[in-house]
């Protein structure tokens, strides 16, 4: 089946090239899983990617938490991810004014040169999206911004009013790929999907087969419930990288997520 048939309304209404690319990759890989690759050494990251790459649609990084990071080792890691047909998503949570965000796409990590997606808060106003898009343009690349409309952590300050404003401003911006929603609370996610409509994607952290509380205020909901509630991609970290058998776990998340998408007769 074509991506357009599988994704239905979502395909028709998401014309941003990067959104279409994601939907196509998800179909090729039969997975709606983005791995949160939160390992702190390059060896650990490479080992993990080798084990689970075939079961993923995207790879989420925190480039600034790696102890032995180097330009060369990162270049190799990213090219391996690309060969595995993955979107690379730096969860940098940019929050500064537009101009500084543009400059922060450069610097030692040069995020603009290898990321397809980045996260941003909209706390400083909508120019941050232009700043990040300018960052990619500066090196002749394009990418998409995921705005934090909700968070998965306990006690976060993203109130329903704030979420509504983020969705309103973000929906009107072509540079916005989609929104981060709270995967741990399907009822919140359903509301977010209603507000977003079909025009943007929603990606969700806070997902684990072992539902409940995680470390330091993290909360987890079930992967299939998140997709039924309106998520287009489940972001899974410790459920995979802390598993005794990461490959088996990644495969299980991929199957759960893909089947949940297929089960949705009308994508909602």
Residue pair 241/38 in contact (Cβ under 8 Å)? The answer is yes
Check binding of 38 to ligand 5BU (CB under 6 A).
yes
CA atoms of 103 and 44, how far apart (whole Å): 29
Which stretch in 51-59, 167-175, 237-245, 246-254 sits in contact with ligand 5BU by CB under 6 A? 237-245
- Residue 140 CB, nearest approach to ligand 5BU (Å): 28
Structural element, H or E, at residue 202: strand 201-204
Check binding of 218 to ligand 5BU (CB under 6 A).
yes
Which stretch in 8-16, 164-172, 229-237, 253-261 sits in contact with ligand 5BU by CB under 6 A? 229-237
Which stretch in 48-56, 80-88, 230-238, 243-251 sits in contact with ligand 5BU by CB under 6 A? 230-238
Structural element, H or E, at residue 156: none
Residue pair 240/52 in contact (Cβ under 8 Å)? The answer is yes
- Record the tokens describing residue 53, joined without a space: 């790459």
Which stretch in 18-26, 162-170, 191-199, 235-243 sits in contact with ligand 5BU by CB under 6 A? 235-243
29 catalytically annotated: no
Buried b (16+ CB within 10 A) or exposed e, 16-53: bebbebbbbbbbebbbbbbbbbbbeebebbbebbebbb
Q: Which of 91, 188, 224, 225 binds ligand 5BU (CB under 6 A)?
A: 91
CA atoms of 127 and 139, how far apart (whole Å): 19
Check binding of 252 to ligand 5BU (CB under 6 A).
no
Q: Which of 133/218 has CB closer to ligand 5BU?
A: 218
- Residue 119 CB, nearest approach to ligand 5BU (Å): 6
Check binding of 236 to ligand 5BU (CB under 6 A).
yes
- Number of residues interacting with ligand 5BU: please give it, by CB under 6 A: 18
Instruction: Return the number of other C-beta atoms located less than 10 Å from residue 126's C-beta.
Output: 17
Supply φ then ψ for residue 90, to 5 degrees.
Answer: -90, 115
Residue pair 259/61 in contact (Cβ under 8 Å)? The answer is no
Q: Which of 25, 27, 36, 233 binds ligand 5BU (CB under 6 A)?
A: 36
Which residues contact ligand 5BU (rule: CB under 6 A)? 36, 38, 91, 119, 148, 151-153, 180, 205-206, 214, 218, 235-239
The residues assigned a catalytic role are 93
């Amino acid at each position: 089946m074509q991506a357009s048939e599988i994704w239905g309304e979502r395909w028709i209404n998401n014309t941003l090239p990067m959104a279409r690319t994601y939907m196509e990759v998800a179909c090729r890989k039969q997975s709606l899983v983005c791995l949160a690759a939160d390992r702190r050494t390059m060896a650990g990251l490479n080992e993990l990617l080798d084990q689970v790459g075939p079961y993923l649609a995207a790879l989420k990084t925190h480039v600034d938490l790696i102890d032995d990071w180097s330009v060369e080792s990162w270049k190799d890691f990213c090219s391996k991810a690309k060969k595995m047909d993955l979107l690379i998503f730096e969860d940098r949570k940019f929050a500064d004014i537009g101009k500084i965000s543009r400059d922060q796409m450069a610097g030692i990590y040069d995020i603009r040169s290898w990321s397809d997606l980045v996260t941003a808060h909209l706390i400083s106003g909508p120019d941050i999206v232009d700043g990040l898009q300018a960052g990619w343009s500066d090196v002749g690349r394009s990418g998409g911004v995921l705005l934090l409309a909700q968070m998965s952590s306990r006690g976060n300050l993203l109130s329903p009013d704030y979420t509504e404003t983020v969705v309103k401003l973000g929906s009107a911006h072509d540079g916005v790929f989609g929104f981060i929603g709270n995967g741990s609370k399907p009822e919140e996610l359903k509301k977010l999907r209603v507000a977003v409509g079909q025009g943007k994607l929603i990606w969700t952290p806070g997902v684990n087969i072992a539902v409940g509380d995680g470390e330091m205020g993290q909360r987890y909901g079930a992967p299939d419930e998140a997709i039924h509630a309106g998520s287009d991609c489940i972001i899974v970290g410790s459920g995979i990288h802390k598993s005794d058998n990461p490959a088996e776990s990644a495969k299980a998340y991929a199957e759960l997520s893909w089947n949940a998408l297929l089960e949705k007769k009308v994508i909602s």
